[in-house]
Structure 1
Amino acid sequence: MAPSRSRPPAPGDKSKRKRAEKAGRRAETLCGFWLRLKGYRILATRYRSPLGEIDIIAKRANLIAAIEVKNRTNRADALLAIRPQQQNRIARALESYAGHIGHQGDLRLDLMIVGKWYRIEHLKNAWHTEPR
């Protein structure tokens, strides 16, 4: 019998992951409130499609923004956490969502960072994709 290549999770790994997921959901909720205060209407949260997942989809005037929320202590870590492959998945999912609802206006890809002491930083147009 061949030895197993996967190792069992270390004690505390599951609880650490659960805490991180809970903190991430709390950050998403906080960002949703913040966006509403800034005049955005939340169209969807934790939107999933076969093309990708978007934390928050928000609308303001004729603009729909896909917002990726990162709960990190600094901006550099948050920016490094979004790889080009993930950026492309988010962009494709947003285009699919916009097409599904018949949106003909502008699309934007934003990043919101929730840092120490729940400080929120909203980076509009955090990355660009090819125009549709």
Structure 2
Amino acid sequence: MSEKTSISAKRQRADQKGREAEAQAAQYLMLQGFEIVGERRKTKLGEIDLIARKTGLVVFAEVKWRARKADLATAIDEYRLARVAAAVEAVAHEYAGPDDDIRIDVILLSPGSRPDHIENAWMP
């Protein structure tokens, strides 16, 4: 297998794990009473993994999955959250009404662990 093929296969596996993690996070949010209204919403400024709403609240969620729970500590940083926040700013009006609160959350996932849901992860 060439190095290029190996990198491509690795990216495909990572993308698949990311999709599985997003599905798991969506299920978690639905159990919390949210309706999923958007997935993998792309903007010129970045991508929002999940958009969920319940009465009076719209959550824009960044989902991170790592094979080891210990690696989740470095999965998200201010730079990544700033990109999500910029993307949210570009599309929030499409999902939130004038009386809705908006929140940017992070959901961290790893095998064998409950989701770690960080509410209001971005507060500039």
TM-score, normalised via structure 1 length = 0.79
The alpha-carbon deviation at position 102 of structure 1 amounts to 5.4
Stretches of structure 1 lacking an aligned partner (at least 5 in a row): 1-7
Compute the RMSD of aligned alpha carbons: 2.0
Which stretch has the larger CA shift, 41-50 or 94-103? 94-103
Separation in 2, partners of 1:70, 1:39: 21
Separation in 2, partners of 1:35, 1:77: 23
SS at match of 1:116: coil
Which stretch has the larger CA shift, 13-22 or 26-35? 13-22
- Among all aligned residue pairs of Structure 1 and Structure 2, give the percentage whose two residues are the same amino acid: 35
Which residue of 95, 112, 119 maps to 1:117?
A: 112
Does 2:81 align with 1:90? no
Separation in 2, partners of 1:101, 1:113: 23
Does 2:61 align with 1:67? yes
**Which runs of at least 4 in structure 1 moved beyond 3 Å after TM superposition?**
8-11
TM-score, normalised via structure 2 length = 0.83
Q: Alpha carbons of 1:52 and 1:10: their partners in 2 closer, same or farther (altered >3 Å)?
A: closer
Q: How many residues align?
A: 121
Q: Alpha carbons of 1:116 and 1:77: their partners in 2 closer, same or farther (altered >3 Å)?
A: same
Stretches of structure 2 lacking an aligned partner (at least 5 in a row): none
SS at match of 1:127: coil
- Give the 5 Å matches for 1:1-132: 9=3, 12-72=6-66, 73-74=68-69, 77-101=71-95, 103-104=97-98, 105-117=100-112, 119-129=114-124
